[in-house]
Structure 1
Amino acid sequence: MREQMAAHALGLNLASLVFAIVYAADHDTSEALEDAVATVPHIIQAQRLLGDPDRLLHVVAAELAALQGLYDDHLTTLPGVQRLSSTLVMKNVVQDRPLPL
């Protein structure tokens, strides 16, 4: 909830999940991709997945046009990315839940 409130306070009202398929699974490509992802501030979470797709990027933007610019200028140019697909988040149902003890 804190992250969502902070994003809204900064005007980052649009959340998207971006799935990336990487053309090579070698160490150098993976490292270059992860280093590049770490430099994009609008990617607030990134996960390496087992299977297809290879990566899941949680992206925030102010509006659809800003997301499109981020997508075109940064996400499509990430090292090793063969294909991207994305979806918009309508509502966060469970977020920042404490771990079960």
Structure 2
Amino acid sequence: MIDKIDRSILRSLQQDGRRTATALASDIGLTVAPCHRRLRELESSGVIRGYRADIERSAVGLGFEAIVFVTLRQVDRATLAEFERQVIANTHIIEAERLFGDIDYLLKVVAADLSAYQHFYDEELSALPAVEQLTSTIVMKNLKAGAGLPL
């Protein structure tokens, strides 16, 4: 069970995942040993899934972002599994969610620019298994990316 101290650790790490156990312990009012033990437990139990750099997309040539709504022709188990496998493997699709309702999936896609996205749309998105309809919305401005959980 996650208690107040664990939540404090998680809240702090969401702000800065590179914090040392010593700095983390100091911030939340623990000594290093129990803080380090709690941190290892949060990692081993899967609460903390990993650490990574938050990269500015435009700085690496991926400043274009689109949200794509996908409706499939068929939703049998094999088709869904193959669709999801291909989506997970595609590096330009940075987020993907399966939805209830008329739309089956929401995908967040990055590309260099509109032309690169159009090529990606024609060659890769439309070739995904059982795609019946793709609807794209271009992101004008990202106001709140990777905000973290309200702990």
With normalisation by structure 2, the TM-score equals 0.62
User: For residue 32 of structure 1, what is the aligned residue in structure 2?
Assistant: 82
Write the deviation string for residues 13-55 of structure 1: whole angstroms up to 9, x where unpaired.
Answer: 1000010001111111100100111222110111101112100
User: For residue 14 of structure 1, what is the aligned residue in structure 2?
Assistant: 64
Q: Which has the higher contact order (CA 8 A, sep 6+)?
A: 1
Match for 1:88 among 130, 135, 138? 138
Report which of the two has the higher share of strand: 1
User: For residue 122 of structure 2, what is the aligned residue in structure 1?
Assistant: 72
Q: Does 1:23 align with 2:73?
A: yes
How many aligned residue pairs are there?
98
Deviation, structure 1 residue 93: 1.4
Letter in 1 for 2:131: V
Write the deviation string for residues 39-83 of structure 1: whole angstroms up to 9, x where unpaired.
Answer: 221101111011121001100000111000000000001001111
Report which of the two has the higher share of helix: 2
User: For residue 54 of structure 1, what is the aligned residue in structure 2?
Assistant: 104
Moved over 6 A (4+): none
Aligned identity (percent) is 44
User: For residue 97 of structure 1, what is the aligned residue in structure 2?
Assistant: 147
The answer for unaligned runs of 5 or more in structure 2 is: 1-53
RMSD of aligned Cα (Å): 1.0
